[in-house]
C-alpha cells in the first residue's frame, strides 16, 4: 500500500470504507508474537506475551500535523521505554477532518509503519474515522511492550544525581519549524528552518536507545519530559518520587537552532514540549557509568541537578550563581503558536533584564 494508490478518494464522515481500509492494511509487516493482527472485521489483536512485565502507554498527538504518525509512534514508545519496556505493539485511533482525501490516511499510516520498523515494533490494529467538525488530523496511539524488571520515576531517591540525555525542546523545535515555516523563515533564515525541521529525525524525538543504554548500565528511574518541557518533566519526576531538587539550568543543553526558533516566538525552550530528552535519576556512585553508557549510544548526557529531601523543595541555580524558586508555567509554551496566551513572568523578566530594565 502507498498513499499514491489512494489519491482522489474523498472520505465521507464516519468509518473509512472497507475497500479503502483493505488497501491500508494490505502488506502491513507482521509483528513479533502477533497471533491475530489487523484485518477487515477484526476488532482486536491477539498477542502471545512472553513471561515478565507488560508495559502500556497511551498518548494523543495534539500540536503537530506534519508527520503526525511519526510523532504518535515515538511519544508512546518513549513512555514504554522509560518504564523499562521494549516497545513491540502499537494501535492507533486516527481521526481525519471532513472532506479528507484518502491519501492523508495512507500517509499517516506510512509514517507510523516507518517509525515502528525502526523500533522493531508493529502496527497491530486501531480505528480510522472521519469527523466533519475536525479541522486537522488527530492520532491517539497506544504502545505495548515487555519488560524484565520494574523501572519507574517513583524509584528516584533524595541524594540521586539527575542526568539529562539529549537536549531541551527538540520536539518543539521541529513542530514550530514545520507548522510556522512562513512566519519563521523571514526571522531566522531558510537554512536554519531546514535544520530545525529535521530535528524530528536528527537528533530525533525518540529516547528509546538512550533509555536502553541507561537501563543496561543499571538505571531504574527514568522520565521523558513532553508537554511542559524539561521544567515540567522535572516537576513530574519529583512528584512521582516525593523528592525535592536543585537544578543547574546552565547545564541543560539547548541547541542553537532551538534557541533561535523559540526566541522568534518568545517561547522559553525549557518549558516547551521536549520529546527527545530523557531524565535519569541515579545514585551518585552509578551516575558516571550511566552517563558514559548513554554517551556511547550516541546521545549527549550531562549532570543537571541533585534530588533532595522533599522538605527542601524545588529550586534552580542560575548562571549568575543565584538560587531561584523553581519556575512554574500555566501550560506548554508552544501553545503560544495556537492561542493568544500571555508571556510567562520568567520570560518577561529575562527580556526586561536584557533591555537593562532590571529583573522585573
297 in the same domain as 211: yes
Q: State the burial class of residue 195 (Cβ atoms within 10 Å of its Cβ: 0-12, 13-18, 19+).
A: middle
Q: Which of 204, 183, 180 is nearest to 274 (CA)?
A: 204
Model confidence at 355, in pLDDT bands (50, 70, 90)? very low
pLDDT at 39: 76
Residue 135 covered by a domain: yes
**134 & 179 share domain:** no
What secondary structure does DSSP assign to 286-325, as a single string? HHHHHHHHHHHTT--EEEEEEEE-GGG-EEEE-TTS-EEE
pLDDT digits (tens, 9 = 90+) for 267-325: 999 999 999 999 999 999 999 999 999 999 999 999 999 999 999 999 999 877 889 99
Instruction: Compute how many other C-beta atoms are within 10 angstroms of the C-beta atom of residue 85.
Output: 26
Q: Which of 251, 166, 275 lies closest to 214 in space, CA to CA?
A: 166
Residue 89, C-beta contacts closer than 8 angstroms, at least 6 positions apart: 31, 33, 34, 45, 47, 121, 122, 124, 143, 144, 145
> Reduced to 3 states, what is the DSSP secondary structure of residue 143?
strand
Residue 175 lies in a domain: yes
H helices present in 120-207, as ranges: 170-179, 181-188, 190-197
Residue 189's domain comprises 153-354
Torsion of CA 63, 183, 112, 98, to 10 degrees: 70
Residue where a domain stops, chosen among 109, 126, 147: 147
In a domain, 114, yes or no: yes
What is the tens place of the pLDDT at every residue in 99-150?
888 899 999 999 999 999 999 999 999 999 999 989 899 999 999 999 999 9
Helix (H) or strand (E) holding 281: strand 278-282
CB 168 within 8 A of CB 230: yes
Closest of 145, 138, 174, 170 to residue 60, by C-alpha: 138
Closest CA relative to residue 210, chosen from 152, 146, 280: 280
119 and 198 in one domain? no
Residue 160 lies in a domain: yes
The continuous run of DSSP H or E covering 122 comes out as: strand 122-131
Q: How many domains does the chain have?
A: 2
Q: What mean pLDDT do residues 40-59 have?
A: 85
Q: Are 11 and 24 contacting, i.e. CB atoms less than 8 angstroms apart? A: no
Query: Nearest-5° angle of CA 234, CA 237, CA 240?
Result: 150
69 plus 215 within the same structural domain: no
Strands across the sheet with 222-223, in order? 222-223, 278-282, 161-165, 301-308, 244-248, 314-317, 323-325
**d(C-alpha 209, C-alpha 206), whole Å:** 8
Q: Of residues 329 and 27, which shows the higher confidence score?
A: 329
Asked, for residue 359, whether it belongs to a domain, the answer is no
The reply to whether omega before 203 is within 30° of 0 (cis) is yes
Q: Does 270 map to a domain?
A: yes
Do 222 and 131 reside in the same domain of the chain?
no
pLDDT tens-place string over residues 159-215 = 999 999 999 999 999 999 999 999 999 999 999 999 999 999 999 999 999 999 999
Lowest mean pLDDT: which of 54-68, 122-136, 233-247, 329-343?
Answer: 329-343
CATH number of the domain residue 141 falls in: 3.30.1330.10
pTM higher than 0.95: no
Alpha-carbon gap, residue 160 to 298, rounded angstroms: 24
Final residue belonging to a domain, choices 147, 163, 189? 147
Amino acid at each position: 500500500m502507498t498513499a499514491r494508490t489512494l489519491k482522489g478518494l474523498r472520505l465521507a464522515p464516519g468509518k473509512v470504507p472497507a475497500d479503502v481500509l483493505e488497501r491500508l492494511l494490505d502488506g502491513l509487516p507482521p509483528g513479533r508474537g502477533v497471533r491475530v493482527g489487523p484485518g477487515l472485521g477484526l476488532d482486536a489483536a491477539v498477542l502471545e506475551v512472553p513471561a515478565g512485565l507488560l508495559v502500556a502507554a497511551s498518548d494523543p498527538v495534539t500540536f503537530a500535523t506534519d508527520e503526525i504518525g511519526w510523532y504518535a509512534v515515538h511519544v508512546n514508545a518513549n513512555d514504554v521505554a522509560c518504564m523499562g519496556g521494549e516497545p513491540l505493539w502499537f494501535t492507533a485511533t486516527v481521526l481525519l477532518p471532513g472532506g479528507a482525501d484518502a491519501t492523508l490516511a495512507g500517509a499517516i499510516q506510512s509514517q507510523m509503519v516507518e517509525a515502528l520498523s525502526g523500533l522493531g515494533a508493529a502496527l497491530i490494529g486501531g480505528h480510522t474515522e472521519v469527523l466533519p467538525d475536525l479541522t486537522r488530523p488527530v492520532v491517539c496511539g497506544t504502545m505495548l511492550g515487555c519488560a524484565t524488571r520494574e523501572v519507574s520515576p517513583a524509584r528516584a531517591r533524595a541524594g540521586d544525581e539527575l542526568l539529562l540525555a539529549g537536549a531541551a525542546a527538540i520536539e518543539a523545535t521541529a513542530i514550530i519549524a514545520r507548522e510556522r515555516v512562513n512566519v519563521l523563515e523571514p526571522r531566522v533564515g531558510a537554512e536554519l528552518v531546514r535544520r530545525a525541521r529535521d530535528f524530528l529525525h536528527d537528533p530525533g524525538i525518540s529516547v528509546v536507545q538512550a533509555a536502553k543504554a541507561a537501563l543496561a548500565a543499571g538505571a531504574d528511574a527514568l522520565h521523558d519530559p513532553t508537554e511542559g518541557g524539561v521544567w515540567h518533566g522535572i516537576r513530574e519526576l519529583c512528584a512521582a518520587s516525593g523528592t525535592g531538587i536543585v537544578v543547574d539550568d546552565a547545564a541543560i543543553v539547548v541547541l542553537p537552532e532551538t534557541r533561535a526558533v523559540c526566541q522568534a516566538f518568545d517561547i522559553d525552550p525549557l518549558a516547551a514540549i521536549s520529546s527527545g530528552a530523557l531524565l535519569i535519576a541515579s545514585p551518585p556512585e552509578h551516575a558516571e557509568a550511566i552517563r558514559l553508557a548513554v554517551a556511547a549510544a550516541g546521545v549527549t548526557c550531562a549532570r543537571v541537578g541533585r534530588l533532595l529531601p522533599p522538605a527542601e523543595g524545588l529550586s534552580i541555580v542560575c548562571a549568575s550563581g543565584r538560587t531561584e524558586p523553581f519556575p512554574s508555567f500555566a501550560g506548554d509554551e508552544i501553545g503560544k503558536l495556537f492561542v493568544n496566551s500571555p508571556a510567562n513572568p520568567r520570560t518577561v523578566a529575562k527580556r526586561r533584564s536584557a533591555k537593562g530594565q532590571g529583573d522585573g
